[in-house]
């Protein structure tokens, strides 16, 4: 397996995949990957690096990309954006489930719960999350919405008028999930999102 070179033992390698026929063909500029990179840059304070892919709405291509990122490049986390609605070309969930060894339904449930605070059509979203395991490696793969605003809301959660988290975002659970599947220890910026871990799994804060 040809993996990405890590610059630190706890550096997380994150695959960022934007799924869009129109962005791939140049009809418009992709906004999903830049939105993900910008948010991760604010949220993660421990070492991380990204591997980026822009691909069309094609189930075999999506599955092959996810396998490449996890099996060949050693990504610990893969975030996809786009292709999760009910349209015929929206096949990201099916392609993701096809490569997963275990489904993680709580992620999709929470993303829809967050989006329902804004639009009733959140129930049309079909985001899924899975663990993909190989004999020597495991990764979490999560489908995210396609719009930058929705990406931030589902990752970060919602705050009330005092700044207190009213609805937790899904990223609060990601670092501990990565711990449990044998990945690097990810630390977050509490001003953006607080990673939740039981006390027994916490390390002293990074200096």
Q: Give the number of C-alpha atoms closer than 13 A to the C-alpha of residue 172, restricted to the C-beta side.
A: 21
Q: What integer pLDDT is reported at residue 29 of this predicted model?
A: 87
> Residues 6 or more apart from 161 whose CB is under 8 A from it?
none
The string of DSSP codes covering 67-88 is HIIIIIT--SEEEEES--SSST
* Helices assigned H by DSSP within 100-169: 105-115, 148-156
Q: What integer pLDDT is reported at residue 35 of this predicted model?
A: 95
**Six token digits for residue 102:** 């275990």
Local confidence pLDDT in tens for the 207 residues of the chain: 567 889 888 999 999 999 998 888 777 889 999 999 999 999 999 999 999 999 999 999 999 999 999 999 999 999 999 999 999 999 999 999 999 999 999 999 999 999 999 999 999 999 999 999 999 999 999 999 989 999 999 999 999 989 888 999 999 999 999 999 999 999 999 999 999 999 999 998 766
Cα-trace Rg, the chain:
16
Domains of the chain plus CATH, in order, are 12-200 (3.40.980.10)
């Amino acid at each position: 397996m040809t993996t990405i070179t890590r610059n630190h033992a706890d550096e997380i390698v994150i695959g960022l995949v934007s799924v869009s026929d129109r962005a791939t063909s140049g009809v418009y500029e992709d906004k999903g990957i830049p939105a993900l990179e910008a948010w991760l840059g604010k949220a993660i304070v421990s070492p991380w690096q990204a591997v980026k892919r822009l691909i069309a709405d094609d189930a075999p291509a999506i599955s092959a990309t996810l396998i490449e990122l996890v099996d060949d490049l050693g990504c610990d986390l893969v975030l996809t954006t786009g292709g999760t609605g009910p349209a015929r070309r929206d096949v990201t969930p099916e392609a993701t489930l096809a490569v997963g060894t275990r489904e993680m339904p709580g992620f999709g449930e929470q993303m829809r719960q967050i989006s329902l605070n804004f639009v009733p059509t959140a129930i049309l979203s079909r985001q899924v999350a899975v663990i993909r395991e190989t004999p020597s490696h495991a990764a979490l793969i999560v489908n995210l919405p396609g719009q930058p605003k929705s990406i931030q809301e589902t990752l970060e959660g919602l705050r009330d008028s005092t700044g207190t988290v009213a609805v937790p975002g899904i990223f609060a659970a990601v670092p501990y999930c990565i711990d449990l599947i044998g990945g690097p220890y990810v630390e977050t910026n509490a001003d953006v999102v607080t990673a939740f871990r039981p006390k027994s799994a916490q390390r002293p804060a990074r200096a």
